[in-house]
Amino acid sequence: LPQEFEQAIPVLQRIEAAGFDAYFVGGSVRDTILGQPIHDVDIATSAFPAEIKELFPRTIDLGIEHGTVLVLWENEQYEITTFRTEEAYQDFRRPDKVAFVRSLAEDLKRRDFTINAFALKKDGEIIDLFDGLADLQLKILRAVGQPHERFHEDALRMMRGLRFVSQLGFTLEPRTFEAIYDNHQLLAKISVERITIEFVKLLLGAHRNSALKAFVATECYLYCPGLKQAGEALLRMADLPERPLNNEASAWTLLIDQIGLSTAEVRPFLKQWKCSNELIRMVQSLFEGVLLRKAGPFSDEALYHLGSEAARLSEELLYYYGQEVDPSVSQARYQALPIHSLKDLAINGRDLLSHFDQSGGPWMKEVLAAAEKAVIEKRVANEEKALLAFAKTIVLNNL
Ligand code: ATP
Ligand code: MG
């Protein structure tokens, strides 16, 4: 077993010593069998939340009504979730009620895909009630049970399926694919935030292109923000070279460029997806960088305004347009710029006030902006004397 599981064995032992069952479950079991690194170790148990809280001194309630308690153990933390069924789904998203049960099989039955429905015992034995091991071998994503029912119960599972296509390079088993196609309009019931999380994982996965094709073929894209008209563009994007995107801002930028948004449309589009303002600003810079860089090397002024990160990431994106550029050239030019922000300028507002017989006002901002530009373009040295002389010519011109 990987060391993350080994470390957690005492937790299972303590639960079992109290007479309950406990297993490792979820994505970490799947990823271990695939030989991939794991992030979080999830535990499922027959013990009820109150019983778990009695067994461990340090716990945090994560959602008692869903049966999840966070147990702090040594320097690690484990989500321990009581076996449950999710009987009544009324609105295609979350169960109205979860029922705690004592049976592992019941718990595994409510999981989304066969490869996510393993349980792993502490001795390493894998419990595989739905032939998930065979599906792993075949690289197939197959819904547990009746696919129609399962996507009807919880429509988010369709987006999860597509993101696993991208992350794992698996294909959707035909009946599972059909069921997604038939139920895709139920995505309208799912909160945008939850769809966004899965869609970003889809864009960042190593098998983005086949996932994008399935995203279009199942028509799920029709119920995602701002993509109703984007079917063809998404398919064009699926024909770009399949180098994984390594950050969220780059992923959105490539998408936005493919679907042909204008600069002004970027913000409203990303707002619909509930992206943070910080992310939106980064995407706006990257998008500007890509548009500029497609036309030719960055000017010094463009480098200055983009900053080093946006310049580097937008040059990395050029790869998808068949232009491989070495970002270190621009990075060196960026480092060599005489200033990197207005703070680096050898004069400031106070210097202007003390050298010119004028009261403060918008003229100062204009003069500083002109000085900033002149320094970046190396027309004036970044020295107080030179800059004050330069400022004087502007102030005189404007009088
Ligand atoms: P990741 O490696 O990205 O964390 P994961 O498979 O662990 O992938 P989680 O969202 O962490 O995904 O969920 C943990 C487990 O809970 C899943 O493996 C699956 O068994 C179950 N699960 C999660 N979401 C759903 C859902 N919407 N419907 C059914 N089962 C789900
Ligand atoms: Mg997980």
The rounded distance, in Å, linking the Cα atoms of 347 and 367 is 10
Protein residue closest via CA to atom 30 of ligand 1: 111
Q: What is the mean pLDDT of residues 229-238?
A: 98
Q: What is the mean pLDDT of residues 27-43?
A: 95
Residue 88: pLDDT band with limits 50, 70, 90: low
The rounded distance, in Å, linking the Cα atoms of 373 and 392 is 15
4 CA to centre of ligand 2 in angstroms? 14
247 CA to centre of ligand 2 in angstroms? 19
How much is the pTM? 0.93
Protein residue closest via CA to atom 13 of ligand 1: 26
Q: Which atom of ligand 1 is nearest to the CA of 31?
A: 2
27 CA to centre of ligand 2 in angstroms? 5
Protein residue closest via CA to atom 22 of ligand 1: 111
Contact between residue 40 and residue 71 where contact means Cβ atoms under 8 Å apart = no
Contact between residue 77 and residue 71 where contact means Cβ atoms under 8 Å apart = yes
30 CA to centre of ligand 1 in angstroms? 10
Average pLDDT value for the chain: 95
The ligand 1 site (C-beta within 6 Å) comprises 26-27, 42, 111-112, 116-117, 154, 156-157, 160
Region of poorest pLDDT, from 99-103, 181-185, 284-288, 395-399: 395-399
Beta strands in the chain (DSSP E): 22-25, 42-45, 59-63, 68-73, 76-82, 84-85, 99-100, 119-120, 126-127, 140-141, 171-172
Pocket-testing residue among 116, 151, 157, 183, ligand 1, by greatest number of atoms within 8 A of Cβ: 116
Look up the ipTM and state it. 0.99
Which strand (E) or helix (H) includes residue 329?
Answer: helix 327-335
Q: Which atom of ligand 1 is nearest to the CA of 163?
A: 3
Q: What is the mean pLDDT of residues 24-37?
A: 96
The rounded distance, in Å, linking the Cα atoms of 32 and 399 is 73
Q: What is the mean pLDDT of residues 17-33?
A: 97
209 CA to centre of ligand 1 in angstroms? 22
Q: Is the pLDDT of residue 39 over 80?
A: yes
230 CA to centre of ligand 2 in angstroms? 31
252 CA to centre of ligand 1 in angstroms? 24
Protein residue closest via CA to atom 28 of ligand 1: 112
Q: Is residue 10 classed as helix, strand or coil in its secondary structure?
A: helix
Protein residue closest via CA to atom 12 of ligand 1: 27
Burial degree of 194 (CB within 10 A; 0-12, 13-18, 19+): middle
Q: What is the pLDDT of residues 153-194, one digit of tens each?
A: 999 999 999 999 999 999 999 999 999 999 999 999 999 999
Residue 95: pLDDT band with limits 50, 70, 90: low
Protein residue closest via CA to atom 25 of ligand 1: 112
Protein residue closest via CA to atom 8 of ligand 1: 27
31 CA to centre of ligand 2 in angstroms? 10
